[in-house]
Structure 1
Amino acid sequence: MTTTLRRLGELDVPAIGFGAMVLSPGMYGEIDDDRAVAAIQAAVGAGGTFIDTSDAYGEGGHNERVVGRAIRGRRDEVTVATKFGLAVPDGAEAHPLKVGYAFEELLVNAEPKYVRGYAESSLRNLGTDVIDLYYLHFPDPQVPIEESVGAMAELVADGKVRQLGVCNVTPDELRRAHGVHPMAAVQTEWSMWRPVDPELLEVARELGVGVVPWSPLGAGFLTGSVRELDADDFRNNAPRFKNLEANNASYAALQALAADLGITRSQLALAWLLHQDPAVVPIPGSRTPAHIEENLAAAEITLHPDTLARIDTVLARLKPVGGTLL
């Protein structure tokens, strides 16, 4: 498969990355490590060499360790992004952060004195000596973002991290973070059922910061294939998935659009995102090699302006039932 590249800071990455969060137990139901490793290797083999993980996915850095195992011997082929701030270390104060969605609040700590320890733990888990893109997972409500980013910048100076990013921030927080050290990317939720904050997109464009949409397939909803969830799937707590039948009926209109274009609903959702801005790099996740290849192939789909206008007309009529995703 031909890999279309986009730029995040100084990193050239595939236009569609791979979100590894789905590969830890308790996120989207049970999965064993062998299957998780196989999924990552399928992504890399198909050109999906931009792998996104976090020290908070799974217990004790589980997701990072799985990624590390999957890329062993192939480190030079991949760009690895990970995040910190949610896996609060022993002895550190956990700061409550109100978020909504499947979690009413998260516990975070992004105090500068812990940042190096977070990074060194991730480096061990990943089995590498450098992290390509290191994100602040959520801004700490008790720590000015400038202080957290200042500690992250020290990791760049020491050669432990190549590029920096922030996730789930306001436009003002992005601007302040970028003022301390250039941000290669901002990660935010964005999909056909969750519009991006237009001001955040405007600031990112102004500053030359890439935009990495997380949950670009609406936590799997936009695939059109989610009918019921495993008991241990975290989406059971999400308001939109508690109204799954009603939302599936409403968003069925996307199926006709995809069918007319001869593509799948997943490809429609991803191609639409890619056409919103040349600095957009979505990171869908999947456990199935065939679905991974299907997602990555969306980078080669061209949508005519008339088609984009038609899609936007349909989307304007669709209103999800339930709360926001995050």
Structure 2
Amino acid sequence: MSETPIAFMIATFVVLAAFFVVDLFVIGRKPHVPSTKECLQHIAFFVVAALIFGGIMWAVAGSKPAIEFYSGWLTEYSLSVDNLFVFVIIMSNFAVPKVLQKYVLSVGITVALILRGIFILIGAALIERFTWIFFIFGAFLIVTALKLVTGGDDDEEYHENGIIKALRKIMKISDEYDGEKLRTVKNGVKYFTPMLVVFLAIGTTDVMFAFDSIPAIFGLTKDPFIVFTSNVFALLGLQQLYFLLGALLDKLVYLPLGLSVVLGFIGVKLIMEALHGNSLPFLNGGQPIEWVPEVPTWLSLAVIVLSIGGAALASVLKMRALDAASGQGSTKAE
């Protein structure tokens, strides 16, 4: 059950809905490549909005829900940044014109929100009835963390999934875009444009994103309201972040390592909670292992901030070192 007052929850949903409509369907519907200034303004606005929201939650519901929100938001935001790598690859693979990429992202983010909302409802229902599912969530996150460390989850090129391959076989799809249209006519014959395939690629990829993000957020809070708001605030401004970081994403070399630490930590935390609250016939004589410590909320936030912040700082330092080395090499060559 949520510790947040109902009136505050209703007001939050109204404000977030307005944010989303304006961000995606008013600003986002105008086909253009946003400037660096525009991107920074939008990102700063939504980051400040998330910080203020957490402060208001602290005032109306207490410190625990607020810290859970900050932890969840930072984790989801970090995962969203990592997922931008895949968006870049998809856009490049399907040669989406720059001027249309903002529109594609608008649709993709909307699909992501809907899918995450469905996964949150399913996850909350499962946790309410089967607390042992934390073992599965925890193991999944630990495996994902190991893949990030070993590079097993590294997508250097996009591979079409079975749905899109089947679609190409049964539908007429043109090779050229026609603005934002899904259908076009060439020589009197109707074709679907590549935009349809791009939407499906983004949408089906978002399903995989939800598999990563939802177990992670439920490892930090069991409150569906906090889970949902953390995801919404993480998705707001993602369009602008895509354009701002598009050329720099490949330089955030240590971000996967920082994310692996966060996901591994949350995975262990989930398993510890499952051991603490479940009776398993093959462990401790069928009794819950009550001596297993519970990880405090503040520690989760500290680990997330230090891991992501440390990974970002290390990436920036390495990028500067490489730039300096390359500058010295150019000077010597001259």
Q: Same fold (TM over 0.5)?
A: no
Q: Which structure has the larger Rg over C-alpha atoms? A: 2
TM-score scaled to structure 1, two decimals? 0.21
TM-score scaled to structure 2, two decimals? 0.21
Say which structure is richer in strand. Answer: 1
Say which structure is richer in helix. Answer: 2
